Amino acid sequence: MALYSEKVMDHFRNPRNVGVIEDANGIGEVGNAKCGDIMKMYLKIEDDIIKDVKFETFGCGSAIASSSMATEMIKGQPVSEAMKLTNKAVAEALDGLPDYKMHCSVLAEEAIKNALDDYNSRKQ
Ligand code: FES
């Protein structure tokens, strides 16, 4: 069996939603101290719906594929649904990640939660 699924390779080679949203109203940045990888998420939210999402990932292929898939999963979703996104769901949507690469999908979950927290704190 190949180490990485076709979906992982596809999202690594052609990542969706890469970039920056200049007028984002939710930004989250996380890193993994062990591997040194960094992920930044930008959200544009209107009426509690995620209208647009972009990311910048300085990291491994699994982190790039996870960010790409995670952005696809939350785009168009209400904030309350995006809050429920788990790294396990992202890994499953990618048809799995090797065990020692699961932490890469955790970065995607954390970056999105961070960006949503930022959005919520700006609202107050
Ligand atoms: Fe660091 Fe994948 S090895 S996020």
For the chain, give the mean pLDDT.
97
Which numbered atom of ligand 1 lies nearest the CA of 35? 1
CA 92 – CA 96 distance, rounded (Å): 5
Which numbered atom of ligand 1 lies nearest the CA of 107? 4
Judge whether residue 124 has pLDDT over 90: no
The answer to whether the CB of 109 is under 6 A from ligand 1 is no
Q: Which residues does 101 contact at the CB level (< 8 Å), separation at least 6?
A: 60, 62
Query: Mean pLDDT over residues 10-17, rounded?
Result: 98
Assess contact for 24 and 116: CB atoms under 8 A. Answer: no
CA 105 – CA 119 distance, rounded (Å): 22
The CATH number of 6-123 is which of 3.90.1010.10, 3.40.50.10260, 3.40.50.150, 3.30.565.10?
Answer: 3.90.1010.10
The answer to whether the CB of 60 is under 6 A from ligand 1 is yes
pLDDT tens sequence across 51-96:
999 999 999 999 999 999 999 999 999 999 999 999 999 999 999 9
pLDDT at 59: 95
pLDDT tens sequence across 17-26:
999 999 999 9
Residue ranges per domain, the chain? 6-123
Measure 62 CA to ligand 1 centroid, in angstroms: 7
- Radius of gyration, CA atoms only, the chain: 14
Q: pLDDT band at residue 123, thresholds of 50, 70 and 90?
A: confident
Whether 60 is catalytic is no
High-pLDDT (> 70) share of the chain, %:
99
